[in-house]
Structure 1
């Protein structure tokens, strides 16, 4: 989920904690618990600090160990322990329980969007995603907004008990339908290697990626109505250049963040571009999440970029900068993979 949703859910859990009589009878503990759920609901995303080392480092680590089962109690203890150190007279147990619950709910919700998490690290680097709710789900946001609006008229804890029962029912319905949809499509596309659903804001409406031996199919699906919007044939690729690009640390970081990257090779007079594009994210036949490596014709220098590129203007700027950076490094004796920063 996005940060705004996690913040709102943190506040909602703080309201739900009023069902706990120990929390409800203490104003100090109530405020401490609200602070704990608010911070705890965002704590796993504190891996944002990897951004200071660059985009590629962040993409490699985001939703990794910080979202793993082993990290959940550590986040709960760290957040509640810090708050408790300033308020030692409150009940640590009840503060920890609600803070821990907020951390669990953060990772739980992240499992249901197209990104997923590496929740079973360090035992496996496998990405787990149930593909049932969008990254920003307006239905969950509206449900919480209604709950906040009702607080002056009804008991706080009971209002949000209903809110979360409805939210879990909503997620269950979407997840069940996503499972049914994938099974239906697998029966229809029997030659499919894999099928990926991209949940949309509209209920029971999905973006679609189907991979076969020969191509990728992109489309939309809803209630047994299928529209294939675009077909991307798989091409005979230059394996030497692809393998060379995979020696780039930015590319390896990018590849660790997705199971749906596909390489595209474009040869030019002064070198070769290798584009690794995440096929899950398609906007107007454009793939904005990518890693690009430019390899000079003599294999003497390389330059690379990874990140989100939403506009054609920025895309051209990235390509131009990579060529210039590679040219400026061509006189060096050794070949280095250098990351390029594009404002």
Structure 2
């Protein structure tokens, strides 16, 4: 989820924690728990600082090891230890339990996005992305804001957020059933489907899809009742091409391949250089695909320039990639 939603979730868990007698019965412990749940709800996204290094480092590591099983335990212990050092009279075990829950919830809700996480590390480096909830879901965010408002108005935080989370849990069930229904329609229409990748939009009924068959990738939209194909690509493995083999050593291409499960590749051979472009098919927006990786190699297959990242308009894409084709 986005940073704002994780933040309000941290506050909500602090309110929910007041149902715990050891928390609700102690002002100091309840304050410590609230600090723990707020920090814990943000901690796994510490890897966002990698954006300052470069896009490749961020792409290859974001929601990776910081969302892993060892990291979940480490975050909760570090945060609890720091809080207990500052507030030694608070209940250590209860601060740790609720802080751990905040970190776990962060990772769990991220799994339901199209981006996903590597939550099973170190046992598996597979990206887990259920594609059920958009990275920012207005219903979930507003529900938390309403709950916080009710709590601040004097209502019991624990019971308030118990009700809020029951409603949100029901919302997740509805979204999962919608997703299941769309997939059933796809399987009835195409007989050779190997996978369906969901990328939910901010609109409740609108879903973006990539339908993977043995021979093609179909980029589509669904309004829940209908499925509209907007683009299709022949499914081809990366070629055994000298330029492609050289490009795989580039950090931007490597990061893209590490992250993207469905993409279309292009090789453009010019007089003075060869350009390789990889296009992630999960993110179709306003007539183009904003997430790309591009590298340019000279005649000796040395990497001259490369880039990976998000470009959300055709105009900006031309401007951003212009240096690659000088």
TM range (shorter): over 0.9
Cα distance in structure 1, aligned partners of 2:224 and 2:158? 37
1:32-181 aligned within 5 A: 32-151=32-151, 152-181=153-182
Separation in structure 2 between the aligned mates of residue 236 and residue 23 of structure 1, nearest angstrom: 56
TM-score after normalising by structure 2:
0.92
Structure 2 gaps of 5+ residues are: none
The 8 Å contact of residues 40 and 103 in structure 1, kept in 2 or not, is answered as yes
State whether residues 132 and 174 of structure 1, in contact with CA within 8 Å, keep that contact through their aligned partners in structure 2. Answer: yes
TM-score, length of structure 1 as denominator length: 0.88
Q: Work out the number of aligned pairs and report it.
A: 324
* 1:332 equivalent in structure 2: none
Q: How far is the alpha carbon of 1:153 from its aligned partner?
A: 4.8
- Counterpart of 2:220 in structure 1 is 219
Deviations 1:130-169 (A, max 9, x none): 1111110001011112212222152121001101111112
8 Å contact from structure 1 (residues 272, 294) kept in 2 = yes
Do the aligned residues in 2 keep the contact of 1:197 with 1:207 (CA within 8 Å)? yes
1:203 is paired with a residue whose SS is coil
> What are the Cα deviations for residues 76-96 of structure 1, in whole angstroms up to 9, with x where unaligned?
111111111111111011111
Does the aligned pair in 2 maintain the 1:131–1:175 contact within 8 Å?
no
Aligned counterparts of 1:173 and 1:214: Cα–Cα separation in 2: 32
Query: CA 1:27/1:179 → structure 2, altered by over 3 Å: closer, same or farther?
Result: same
**CA offset at residue 235 of structure 1?**
7.2
In the other structure, the counterpart of 2:288 is: 286
Map 1:188-267 onto structure 2 (within 5 A): 188-233=189-234, 239-240=240-241, 241-267=243-269
- Which residue number corresponds to residue 333 of structure 1? none
Shift of 1:301: 4.4
The alignment yields a C-alpha RMSD, in angstroms, of 2.0
1:306 aligned onto 2:302? no
Say if 1:117 and 1:25 are closer, same or farther in 2 by CA, change over 3 A: same
TM-aligned CA distance change 1:210 to 1:28, over 3 Å: same
CA contact (8 A) 1:305 1:318 kept: no
Aligned to 1:310, the other structure's residue is in SS state coil
Structure 1: distance between partners of 2:63 and 2:278:
20
- Asked if structure 1 preserves the Cα contact closer than 8 Å seen for 2:253 and 2:293, the reply is yes
Distance 1:97 1:261 in 2: 41
| Equivalent position SS for 2:193 | coil
Q: CA deviation at 1:323?
A: 4.1
Q: 1:101 & 1:235 partners in 2: Cα distance?
A: 43
Structure 1: tracts of 5 or more residues without a match = 325-343
Q: What is the CA distance between 1:32 and its match in structure 2?
A: 1.5
